[in-house]
Amino acid sequence: MTCIVGIKYDNSVYIGGDTLGSNGYSKVVRSDEKVFRNGPFVMGFTSSYRMGQLLKYALVPPPVDETNLNHYMVVDFINAVRACLKEGGWQQTDDGQERGGTFIVGYKDKLFSIHGDFQVGINADGYDAVGCGENFALGSLHSTTGDPKVRIRKAIAAAAHNSTGVGGPVTILKTKEK
């Protein structure tokens, strides 16, 4: 339960997220944020704080292959994520298929969404959102332009207004420019 938003803007990616932890019935504002840096990446997660902790503290991304970034993300990066989640005891298996969680990754001016089946998505709109507030945030992002920090705050505010699983202060980080 959360809302993570990513926007490509001016040779960078901005990722923002709420800080609410919720099970649908109760909530707590957490001080361990859902948006963080890991090496050259900025990431924001939904699904599980345990998964996010592993991505932040245990994941060692392989050196980035700039010659084919999509291949790197789909193969090298995802294999490192799968191994990290498995070693950390979080990865799940459902009828023989590995399942992870959902998170957004920014690298320089590239924005990727990683889904539970480990697919790597690239939204053609230049923005994306994940979590229970995803649809509200995407609607907001579609209707706004300009300053990415303002757009992220508006998108998460729309999600918080309409979803019981989104709230708390917002964290926003920016990738290093291309």
**Domain segments of the chain: what residues?**
4-174
pTM of the model: 0.95
Burial of 124 (0-12, 13-18, 19+ CB in 10 A): exposed
- pLDDT at position 176: 84
Cβ atoms within 10 Å, residue 90: 19
Cβ atoms within 10 Å, residue 126: 14
**97: Cβ contacts below 8 Å, ≥ 6 apart:** 117
Q: What is the DSSP letter of 172?
A: E
pLDDT by residue, tens only, the chain of 178 residues:
799 999 999 999 999 999 998 887 888 888 899 999 999 999 999 989 999 999 999 999 999 999 999 999 999 999 999 999 999 999 878 788 888 999 999 999 999 999 999 999 999 999 999 999 999 999 999 999 999 999 999 999 999 999 999 998 999 999 986 6
Fold of 4-174: Glutamine Phosphoribosylpyrophosphate, subunit 1, domain 1 (3.60.20)
- In 3D, which of 127, 130, 125, 124 has the Cα closest to residue 159? 130
Token pair, residue 55, equals 């991505």
